Amino acid sequence: MAHTSVDAHAARVRSILARAMATGTERVTLGDALGRVTASAVLSPVDLPLFRNSQMDGFAVRAADLETGETTLPVVGEIPAQRGTPAMLAPHTTVRIMTGAVVPEGADAVVPVEDATVVDDVVTIHRPRSVGEYVRERGSDVTAGTELLPASLHLASRHLAVLAAAGISDVEVRSRVRVVIVTTGAELIEPGQTADAGQVYDANGVALDAAVRACGAEVVAAIRNDTDDADQLHDSLVAVAAGADIILTSGGISMGQHEVVRDLLTPLGGRIGHIAMQPGGPQATGSFEGVPVISFPGNPVSTQISFEIFVAPLLRRVAGLPAAIRTSRTLVADVASIPGKRQFLRGRTVEGGRVEVVAGPGSHLVAGLAASDVLIDIPESTTDLKAGDAVETLQL
Ligand SMILES: Nc1nc2c(c(=O)[nH]1)N[C@H]1C(S)=C(S)[C@@H](COP(=O)(O)OP(=O)(O)OC[C@H]3O[C@@H](n4cnc5c(N)ncnc54)[C@H](O)[C@@H]3O)O[C@H]1N2
Ligand code: MOO
Protein backbone atom coordinates (compact mmCIF):
# COMPACT_ATOMS: atom_id res chain seq x y z
CA MET A 1 0.00 0.00 0.00
CA ALA A 2 3.11 2.24 -0.10
CA HIS A 3 1.64 5.07 -2.20
CA THR A 4 -2.01 4.28 -1.80
CA SER A 5 -4.04 7.48 -1.64
CA VAL A 6 -6.72 8.09 0.97
CA ASP A 7 -9.40 7.87 -1.74
CA ALA A 8 -8.02 4.56 -3.05
CA HIS A 9 -7.94 3.08 0.48
CA ALA A 10 -11.46 4.38 1.12
CA ALA A 11 -12.63 2.66 -2.08
CA ARG A 12 -10.93 -0.55 -0.98
CA VAL A 13 -12.59 -0.45 2.46
CA ARG A 14 -15.94 0.29 0.79
CA SER A 15 -15.63 -2.75 -1.45
CA ILE A 16 -14.49 -5.01 1.41
CA LEU A 17 -17.45 -3.86 3.53
CA ALA A 18 -20.06 -3.87 0.75
CA ARG A 19 -21.58 -7.18 1.81
CA ALA A 20 -21.59 -6.22 5.51
CA MET A 21 -23.59 -3.10 4.62
CA ALA A 22 -26.35 -5.09 2.90
CA THR A 23 -28.30 -5.63 6.09
CA GLY A 24 -31.61 -7.47 6.41
CA THR A 25 -34.61 -6.32 8.39
CA GLU A 26 -36.11 -7.14 11.77
CA ARG A 27 -39.19 -6.22 13.85
CA VAL A 28 -38.59 -4.27 17.03
CA THR A 29 -40.95 -2.92 19.67
CA LEU A 30 -41.40 0.85 19.81
CA GLY A 31 -39.32 0.89 23.00
CA ASP A 32 -36.36 -0.39 21.00
CA ALA A 33 -37.02 1.57 17.83
CA LEU A 34 -35.50 4.97 18.64
CA GLY A 35 -32.73 5.75 16.14
CA ARG A 36 -33.53 2.75 13.94
CA VAL A 37 -34.39 3.08 10.24
CA THR A 38 -37.75 2.01 8.80
CA ALA A 39 -37.41 -0.91 6.39
CA SER A 40 -40.59 -0.01 4.51
CA ALA A 41 -43.37 2.57 4.60
CA VAL A 42 -45.79 2.19 7.52
CA LEU A 43 -49.50 2.59 6.65
CA SER A 44 -52.04 3.62 9.22
CA PRO A 45 -54.45 0.84 10.25
CA VAL A 46 -56.89 3.41 11.63
CA ASP A 47 -58.26 6.92 11.24
CA LEU A 48 -56.69 9.51 13.54
CA PRO A 49 -58.32 10.87 15.58
CA LEU A 50 -59.94 7.47 16.11
CA PHE A 51 -63.34 9.10 16.80
CA ARG A 52 -64.98 12.53 16.80
CA ASN A 53 -63.96 14.16 20.07
CA SER A 54 -63.97 17.42 21.96
CA GLN A 55 -61.11 19.88 21.73
CA MET A 56 -62.15 21.68 24.94
CA ASP A 57 -63.63 21.14 28.36
CA GLY A 58 -67.12 22.59 27.88
CA PHE A 59 -70.64 21.82 26.69
CA ALA A 60 -71.64 19.74 23.68
CA VAL A 61 -74.41 21.50 21.77
CA ARG A 62 -76.33 21.62 18.51
CA ALA A 63 -75.29 24.83 16.75
CA ALA A 64 -78.86 25.14 15.42
CA ASP A 65 -80.13 25.49 19.02
CA LEU A 66 -78.03 28.64 19.51
CA GLU A 67 -78.99 30.52 16.36
CA THR A 68 -81.21 33.04 18.12
CA GLY A 69 -78.39 34.58 20.18
CA GLU A 70 -78.23 34.14 23.97
CA THR A 71 -79.63 30.67 24.75
CA THR A 72 -80.34 28.76 27.94
CA LEU A 73 -80.07 24.96 27.89
CA PRO A 74 -80.56 22.29 30.60
CA VAL A 75 -77.40 20.27 31.39
CA VAL A 76 -78.58 16.64 31.14
CA GLY A 77 -75.34 14.72 31.69
CA GLU A 78 -71.57 14.55 31.55
CA ILE A 79 -69.15 12.82 29.14
CA PRO A 80 -65.65 12.20 30.50
CA ALA A 81 -62.75 11.04 28.28
CA GLN A 82 -63.24 7.31 28.83
CA ARG A 83 -64.32 4.08 27.14
CA GLY A 84 -67.89 3.94 25.86
CA THR A 85 -70.41 5.54 23.50
CA PRO A 86 -72.47 8.37 24.99
CA ALA A 87 -76.20 8.69 24.40
CA MET A 88 -77.46 10.87 21.57
CA LEU A 89 -77.89 14.53 22.49
CA ALA A 90 -81.59 15.48 22.52
CA PRO A 91 -82.56 18.80 20.87
CA HIS A 92 -82.49 21.89 23.13
CA THR A 93 -80.29 20.19 25.76
CA THR A 94 -76.56 20.10 26.46
CA VAL A 95 -74.06 17.82 28.24
CA ARG A 96 -70.82 18.66 29.95
CA ILE A 97 -67.94 17.27 27.89
CA MET A 98 -64.22 16.91 28.64
CA THR A 99 -61.29 17.37 26.27
CA GLY A 100 -60.81 14.16 24.29
CA ALA A 101 -64.26 12.75 25.11
CA VAL A 102 -66.54 11.32 22.39
CA VAL A 103 -68.83 14.04 21.00
CA PRO A 104 -72.32 12.50 21.16
CA GLU A 105 -74.41 12.02 18.07
CA GLY A 106 -76.71 14.96 17.66
CA ALA A 107 -74.09 17.45 18.90
CA ASP A 108 -72.05 19.37 16.33
CA ALA A 109 -70.15 21.96 18.38
CA VAL A 110 -68.52 22.41 21.78
CA VAL A 111 -68.74 25.60 23.83
CA PRO A 112 -65.75 26.01 26.19
CA VAL A 113 -66.67 26.41 29.89
CA GLU A 114 -65.21 29.90 29.96
CA ASP A 115 -67.70 31.03 27.25
CA ALA A 116 -70.73 29.84 29.28
CA THR A 117 -72.47 30.78 32.52
CA VAL A 118 -73.75 27.89 34.63
CA VAL A 119 -76.31 28.22 37.40
CA ASP A 120 -77.35 24.92 38.97
CA ASP A 121 -78.01 22.63 35.99
CA VAL A 122 -78.77 25.34 33.49
CA VAL A 123 -76.19 26.85 31.16
CA THR A 124 -76.44 30.17 29.37
CA ILE A 125 -74.50 30.51 26.12
CA HIS A 126 -74.17 34.10 25.09
CA ARG A 127 -73.87 33.97 21.30
CA PRO A 128 -74.41 31.63 18.33
CA ARG A 129 -71.67 29.05 17.59
CA SER A 130 -70.76 27.52 14.26
CA VAL A 131 -71.04 23.86 13.30
CA GLY A 132 -67.78 22.01 14.00
CA GLU A 133 -66.42 24.53 16.49
CA TYR A 134 -64.01 22.78 18.93
CA VAL A 135 -64.89 19.37 17.45
CA ARG A 136 -61.96 17.20 16.28
CA GLU A 137 -63.32 15.09 13.42
CA ARG A 138 -62.45 11.42 13.04
CA GLY A 139 -59.66 11.03 10.44
CA SER A 140 -58.88 14.75 10.31
CA ASP A 141 -55.17 13.97 10.94
CA VAL A 142 -54.77 10.63 9.12
CA THR A 143 -57.16 8.35 7.27
CA ALA A 144 -56.82 4.56 7.50
CA GLY A 145 -54.63 3.09 4.76
CA THR A 146 -52.55 6.21 4.15
CA GLU A 147 -48.82 6.49 4.87
CA LEU A 148 -47.87 7.29 8.44
CA LEU A 149 -44.10 7.07 7.89
CA PRO A 150 -41.97 6.56 4.78
CA ALA A 151 -39.31 3.88 4.25
CA SER A 152 -35.68 4.68 5.19
CA LEU A 153 -36.71 7.10 7.94
CA HIS A 154 -34.45 7.53 10.96
CA LEU A 155 -36.92 7.14 13.82
CA ALA A 156 -37.17 9.97 16.36
CA SER A 157 -39.61 10.38 19.24
CA ARG A 158 -42.23 12.14 17.09
CA HIS A 159 -42.31 9.19 14.69
CA LEU A 160 -42.69 6.70 17.53
CA ALA A 161 -45.53 8.85 18.89
CA VAL A 162 -47.59 8.61 15.70
CA LEU A 163 -47.07 4.84 15.51
CA ALA A 164 -48.23 4.45 19.11
CA ALA A 165 -51.19 6.79 18.52
CA ALA A 166 -52.27 4.52 15.65
CA GLY A 167 -52.10 1.49 17.96
CA ILE A 168 -48.94 0.06 16.38
CA SER A 169 -46.66 -1.68 18.89
CA ASP A 170 -43.73 -2.76 16.70
CA VAL A 171 -42.08 -1.72 13.47
CA GLU A 172 -39.98 -3.33 10.74
CA VAL A 173 -36.51 -1.73 10.70
CA ARG A 174 -33.22 -2.34 8.95
CA SER A 175 -30.97 -4.64 10.94
CA ARG A 176 -27.97 -2.87 12.41
CA VAL A 177 -24.46 -3.62 11.24
CA ARG A 178 -22.84 -5.76 13.97
CA VAL A 179 -19.34 -4.65 14.87
CA VAL A 180 -16.61 -6.26 16.97
CA ILE A 181 -14.07 -3.81 18.38
CA VAL A 182 -10.56 -4.96 19.20
CA THR A 183 -7.95 -2.83 20.92
CA THR A 184 -4.43 -4.17 21.22
CA GLY A 185 -1.31 -3.44 23.19
CA ALA A 186 0.40 -5.00 26.22
CA GLU A 187 0.54 -1.49 27.70
CA LEU A 188 -3.24 -1.03 27.79
CA ILE A 189 -5.29 -0.84 30.99
CA GLU A 190 -8.88 0.00 31.80
CA PRO A 191 -9.62 3.67 32.66
CA GLY A 192 -10.21 3.92 36.42
CA GLN A 193 -7.27 1.69 37.33
CA THR A 194 -3.92 3.00 38.53
CA ALA A 195 -1.40 3.18 35.69
CA ASP A 196 2.01 1.69 36.46
CA ALA A 197 5.13 2.80 34.58
CA GLY A 198 4.67 2.15 30.85
CA GLN A 199 0.95 1.53 31.05
CA VAL A 200 -1.58 3.49 28.99
CA TYR A 201 -5.32 3.85 29.43
CA ASP A 202 -7.34 2.27 26.63
CA ALA A 203 -8.90 5.32 24.97
CA ASN A 204 -9.57 3.68 21.60
CA GLY A 205 -11.94 1.04 22.97
CA VAL A 206 -14.24 3.73 24.37
CA ALA A 207 -13.83 5.98 21.33
CA LEU A 208 -14.62 3.28 18.78
CA ASP A 209 -17.54 1.94 20.80
CA ALA A 210 -19.12 5.39 20.97
CA ALA A 211 -18.31 6.26 17.36
CA VAL A 212 -19.75 2.99 16.02
CA ARG A 213 -22.97 3.43 18.00
CA ALA A 214 -23.24 7.09 16.98
CA CYS A 215 -23.22 5.83 13.38
CA GLY A 216 -26.27 3.63 14.08
CA ALA A 217 -24.38 0.32 14.20
CA GLU A 218 -24.28 -2.17 17.06
CA VAL A 219 -21.21 -3.19 19.06
CA VAL A 220 -21.60 -6.93 19.62
CA ALA A 221 -18.27 -7.52 21.35
CA ALA A 222 -15.32 -5.51 22.60
CA ILE A 223 -11.98 -7.23 23.09
CA ARG A 224 -8.93 -5.71 24.70
CA ASN A 225 -5.96 -7.86 23.73
CA ASP A 226 -3.36 -6.79 26.28
CA THR A 227 -0.77 -9.36 25.30
CA ASP A 228 1.34 -9.43 22.15
CA ASP A 229 0.16 -12.96 21.46
CA ALA A 230 -1.55 -13.32 18.06
CA ASP A 231 -2.78 -16.82 19.00
CA GLN A 232 -4.64 -15.41 21.97
CA LEU A 233 -6.20 -12.72 19.78
CA HIS A 234 -7.14 -15.44 17.29
CA ASP A 235 -8.92 -17.41 20.02
CA SER A 236 -10.76 -14.34 21.32
CA LEU A 237 -12.00 -13.58 17.81
CA VAL A 238 -13.14 -17.13 17.09
CA ALA A 239 -15.56 -16.77 19.99
CA VAL A 240 -17.28 -13.69 18.52
CA ALA A 241 -16.72 -13.69 14.74
CA ALA A 242 -19.84 -15.70 13.91
CA GLY A 243 -22.08 -12.93 15.24
CA ALA A 244 -20.25 -10.09 13.53
CA ASP A 245 -20.49 -8.25 10.20
CA ILE A 246 -17.27 -6.25 10.67
CA ILE A 247 -14.22 -6.46 12.91
CA LEU A 248 -12.45 -3.16 13.66
CA THR A 249 -9.05 -3.20 15.31
CA SER A 250 -6.70 -0.56 16.69
CA GLY A 251 -2.92 -0.87 17.08
CA GLY A 252 -0.39 -3.54 16.26
CA ILE A 253 0.02 -2.90 12.52
CA SER A 254 3.24 -0.93 12.26
CA MET A 255 6.90 -1.94 11.99
CA GLY A 256 7.76 -3.09 15.55
CA GLN A 257 8.67 -6.49 16.92
CA HIS A 258 5.29 -7.04 18.56
CA GLU A 259 2.57 -6.21 16.05
CA VAL A 260 -0.24 -8.51 17.06
CA VAL A 261 -2.79 -7.54 14.39
CA ARG A 262 -0.15 -7.76 11.67
CA ASP A 263 0.84 -11.21 13.00
CA LEU A 264 -2.79 -12.31 13.02
CA LEU A 265 -3.71 -11.02 9.56
CA THR A 266 -0.55 -11.77 7.58
CA PRO A 267 -0.98 -15.57 7.47
CA LEU A 268 -4.67 -15.00 6.63
CA GLY A 269 -3.77 -12.99 3.51
CA GLY A 270 -4.31 -9.55 5.06
CA ARG A 271 -2.82 -6.39 3.53
CA ILE A 272 -0.73 -4.34 5.93
CA GLY A 273 1.03 -1.17 4.82
CA HIS A 274 1.16 2.60 4.74
CA ILE A 275 -1.08 5.01 2.89
CA ALA A 276 -0.51 8.67 2.02
CA MET A 277 -2.35 10.01 5.07
CA GLN A 278 -1.39 11.75 8.28
CA PRO A 279 -2.45 10.84 10.89
CA GLY A 280 -3.42 7.32 9.96
CA GLY A 281 -0.43 6.29 7.83
CA PRO A 282 -0.37 2.59 8.74
CA GLN A 283 -3.57 0.81 7.67
CA ALA A 284 -4.51 -2.83 7.21
CA THR A 285 -7.39 -4.87 5.83
CA GLY A 286 -8.09 -8.55 6.00
CA SER A 287 -10.63 -11.23 6.71
CA PHE A 288 -11.16 -13.43 9.74
CA GLU A 289 -13.39 -16.48 9.28
CA GLY A 290 -15.21 -14.66 6.48
CA VAL A 291 -15.70 -11.45 8.48
CA PRO A 292 -13.99 -8.36 7.00
CA VAL A 293 -11.35 -6.82 9.25
CA ILE A 294 -10.49 -3.11 9.02
CA SER A 295 -7.43 -2.22 11.08
CA PHE A 296 -6.41 1.24 12.23
CA PRO A 297 -3.12 2.41 13.72
CA GLY A 298 -3.07 2.53 17.53
CA ASN A 299 -2.33 6.18 18.17
CA PRO A 300 -5.66 7.51 19.48
CA VAL A 301 -5.95 10.40 17.01
CA SER A 302 -5.04 8.05 14.15
CA THR A 303 -7.65 5.50 15.20
CA GLN A 304 -10.43 8.05 15.53
CA ILE A 305 -9.67 9.89 12.29
CA SER A 306 -9.23 6.63 10.37
CA PHE A 307 -12.66 5.47 11.57
CA GLU A 308 -14.20 8.82 10.60
CA ILE A 309 -12.69 8.79 7.10
CA PHE A 310 -12.99 5.12 6.11
CA VAL A 311 -15.82 3.48 8.05
CA ALA A 312 -18.16 6.12 9.50
CA PRO A 313 -19.50 7.29 6.09
CA LEU A 314 -20.51 3.72 5.19
CA LEU A 315 -22.19 3.03 8.54
CA ARG A 316 -24.03 6.36 8.48
CA ARG A 317 -25.40 5.69 5.02
CA VAL A 318 -26.76 2.25 5.89
CA ALA A 319 -28.26 3.64 9.12
CA GLY A 320 -30.07 6.44 7.28
CA LEU A 321 -27.98 9.10 9.02
CA PRO A 322 -26.77 12.21 7.21
CA ALA A 323 -23.18 12.32 5.98
CA ALA A 324 -20.70 14.48 7.91
CA ILE A 325 -20.93 18.08 6.70
CA ARG A 326 -18.10 19.38 4.51
CA THR A 327 -17.70 23.16 4.43
CA SER A 328 -15.18 25.48 2.86
CA ARG A 329 -13.65 27.88 5.44
CA THR A 330 -10.77 30.32 5.49
CA LEU A 331 -7.65 29.82 7.58
CA VAL A 332 -6.96 32.14 10.53
CA ALA A 333 -3.18 31.61 10.24
CA ASP A 334 -0.57 30.11 7.89
CA VAL A 335 -0.35 26.30 7.83
CA ALA A 336 2.45 24.06 6.57
CA SER A 337 1.71 20.48 5.52
CA ILE A 338 3.84 17.42 4.78
CA PRO A 339 4.30 16.88 1.04
CA GLY A 340 2.83 13.65 -0.34
CA LYS A 341 0.44 13.09 2.59
CA ARG A 342 -3.19 14.03 2.87
CA GLN A 343 -3.38 15.69 6.27
CA PHE A 344 -6.40 15.88 8.52
CA LEU A 345 -5.50 18.66 10.93
CA ARG A 346 -7.55 19.32 14.02
CA GLY A 347 -9.41 22.60 13.66
CA ARG A 348 -11.78 24.84 15.58
CA THR A 349 -14.27 27.02 13.78
CA VAL A 350 -14.36 30.68 14.71
CA GLU A 351 -16.66 33.55 13.69
CA GLY A 352 -16.85 34.64 10.09
CA GLY A 353 -16.60 31.15 8.58
CA ARG A 354 -12.93 30.86 9.59
CA VAL A 355 -11.02 27.97 11.10
CA GLU A 356 -7.89 27.75 13.27
CA VAL A 357 -5.58 24.82 13.87
CA VAL A 358 -5.84 23.70 17.51
CA ALA A 359 -3.17 21.03 17.86
CA GLY A 360 0.07 19.90 16.31
CA PRO A 361 0.11 17.05 13.82
CA GLY A 362 1.19 14.42 16.43
CA SER A 363 -1.25 11.53 16.49
CA HIS A 364 -0.92 11.08 20.28
CA LEU A 365 -2.46 14.54 20.91
CA VAL A 366 -5.77 13.25 22.12
CA ALA A 367 -6.71 16.47 23.95
CA GLY A 368 -6.09 18.42 20.76
CA LEU A 369 -8.64 16.27 18.95
CA ALA A 370 -11.08 16.74 21.83
CA ALA A 371 -10.64 20.53 21.49
CA SER A 372 -11.49 20.47 17.77
CA ASP A 373 -14.85 20.56 16.05
CA VAL A 374 -13.68 19.99 12.48
CA LEU A 375 -10.91 18.24 10.59
CA ILE A 376 -9.08 20.44 8.10
CA ASP A 377 -8.59 18.33 4.97
CA ILE A 378 -5.34 19.29 3.23
CA PRO A 379 -4.61 17.59 -0.10
CA GLU A 380 -1.42 15.56 -0.67
CA SER A 381 0.03 18.11 -3.05
CA THR A 382 -0.49 21.15 -0.79
CA THR A 383 2.43 22.13 1.43
CA ASP A 384 1.98 25.81 2.27
CA LEU A 385 -1.25 27.60 3.03
CA LYS A 386 -1.58 31.24 4.00
CA ALA A 387 -3.97 32.98 6.40
CA GLY A 388 -7.15 33.70 4.44
CA ASP A 389 -6.72 30.70 2.09
CA ALA A 390 -9.79 28.49 1.65
CA VAL A 391 -9.65 24.96 3.07
CA GLU A 392 -12.18 22.16 3.16
CA THR A 393 -13.34 21.14 6.64
CA LEU A 394 -15.14 18.03 7.78
CA GLN A 395 -17.50 18.46 10.74
CA LEU A 396 -16.85 16.18 13.71
N1 LIG B 1 9.56 2.38 12.42
C2 LIG B 1 8.34 2.87 12.30
N3 LIG B 1 7.61 3.06 13.40
C4 LIG B 1 6.36 3.58 13.32
C5 LIG B 1 5.85 3.90 12.06
C6 LIG B 1 6.62 3.67 10.92
O7 LIG B 1 6.23 3.94 9.78
N8 LIG B 1 7.86 3.14 11.09
N9 LIG B 1 4.61 4.46 12.00
C10 LIG B 1 4.19 5.22 13.16
C11 LIG B 1 2.82 5.62 13.03
S12 LIG B 1 2.54 6.87 11.96
C13 LIG B 1 1.84 5.09 13.79
S14 LIG B 1 0.27 5.73 13.65
C15 LIG B 1 2.08 4.02 14.73
C16 LIG B 1 1.06 2.90 14.51
O17 LIG B 1 1.46 1.80 15.19
P18 LIG B 1 0.51 0.62 15.62
O19 LIG B 1 -0.71 0.63 14.84
O20 LIG B 1 1.33 -0.58 15.60
O21 LIG B 1 0.06 1.04 17.05
P22 LIG B 1 0.73 0.69 18.45
O23 LIG B 1 2.20 0.63 18.28
O24 LIG B 1 0.03 -0.45 19.02
O25 LIG B 1 0.37 2.00 19.25
C26 LIG B 1 0.82 3.26 18.84
C27 LIG B 1 0.65 4.25 20.00
O28 LIG B 1 -0.71 4.33 20.36
C29 LIG B 1 -0.93 3.96 21.72
N30 LIG B 1 -2.17 3.17 21.79
C31 LIG B 1 -2.37 2.00 21.18
N32 LIG B 1 -3.60 1.53 21.46
C33 LIG B 1 -4.16 2.44 22.26
C34 LIG B 1 -5.42 2.52 22.90
N35 LIG B 1 -6.33 1.55 22.75
N36 LIG B 1 -5.71 3.58 23.67
C37 LIG B 1 -4.76 4.56 23.85
N38 LIG B 1 -3.55 4.54 23.26
C39 LIG B 1 -3.25 3.49 22.49
C40 LIG B 1 0.26 3.12 22.06
O41 LIG B 1 0.50 3.09 23.44
C42 LIG B 1 1.35 3.82 21.25
O43 LIG B 1 1.80 4.97 21.92
O44 LIG B 1 3.34 3.49 14.58
C45 LIG B 1 4.39 4.46 14.45
N46 LIG B 1 5.63 3.77 14.45
O1 MOO C 1 0.29 7.95 10.59
MO2 MOO C 1 0.45 7.89 12.38
O3 MOO C 1 -1.19 7.52 12.32
O4 MOO C 1 0.53 9.61 12.27
O5 MOO C 1 0.60 8.44 14.05
Q: pLDDT tens digits for 96-141? A: 999 999 999 999 999 999 999 999 999 999 999 999 999 999 999 9
| 3-state SS assignment for residue 235 | helix
Q: Name, in order, each residue with C-beta under 8 angstroms of 78's C-beta and a sequence gap of 6 or more.
A: 95, 96, 97
Nearest ligand, CA 187: 1
The residue to mutate among 254, 263, 278, 369, having the most atoms of ligand 1 within 8 angstroms of its beta carbon, is 254
Check residue 134 and give its pLDDT. 98
75 vs 257 pLDDT, higher one: 75
Enclosing H/E stretch for 303: helix 300-306
Task: Give yes or no on whether 6-23+176-318 and 25-48+140-174 have one common fold.
Answer: no
Q: Contact at 8 Å (CB) between 181 and 222?
A: yes
Q: pTM score, two decimals?
A: 0.85
- Of the candidates 359, 386, 387, 352, the residue with the CA atom closest to the CA atom of residue 374: 359
| Ligand 1, pocket residues at CB < 6 Å | 183, 185, 187-188, 200, 202-205, 250-255, 259, 281-282, 297-300, 302, 363
Per-residue pLDDT for 1 more than 80? no
The single-letter code of the amino acid at 97 is I
Ligand 1 center–CA 251 separation, angstroms = 6
Per-residue pLDDT for 95 more than 90? yes
CATH class for the region spanning 326-395: mainly beta
* Domain segments of the chain as ranges: 6-23+176-318, 25-48+140-174, 53-131, 326-395
Question: Is 279 close to ligand 2, i.e. is its CB under 6 Å away?
Answer: yes
Atom of ligand 2 nearest to the CA of 302: 3
Q: What would the pLDDT profile of 352-376 be if each residue is shown by its tens digit?
A: 989 999 988 899 999 999 999 999 9
Question: How far is 112 from 94, CA to CA, in rounded Å?
Answer: 12
Mean pLDDT, rounded, of the chain: 96
Ligand 2 center–CA 299 separation, angstroms = 7
Question: How far is 189 from 201, CA to CA, in rounded Å?
Answer: 5
Beta bridge partners of 336: 384
- Protein residue with its CA nearest to atom 3 in ligand 1: 255
- Of the candidates 226, 127, 218, the residue with the CA atom closest to the CA atom of residue 177: 218
Task: Over range 189-199, report the average pLDDT.
Answer: 96
Please tell me the CATH code under which domain 53-131 is placed.
2.170.190.11
- In this prediction, the answer to ipTM > 0.90 reads yes
Homologous superfamily of domain range 6-23+176-318 = MoaB/Mog-like domain (3.40.980.10)
**Cα 238 from chain centroid (whole Å):** 30
Q: Contact at 8 Å (CB) between 85 and 102?
A: yes
Ligand 1 center–CA 20 separation, angstroms = 27
25-48+140-174: CATH architecture: Alpha-Beta Complex (3.90)
Check residue 256 and give its pLDDT. 82
Q: Name, in order, each residue with C-beta under 8 angstroms of 243's C-beta and a sequence gap of 6 or more.
A: 178, 220, 221
Atom of ligand 1 nearest to the CA of 295: 19
Per-residue pLDDT for 393 more than 70? yes
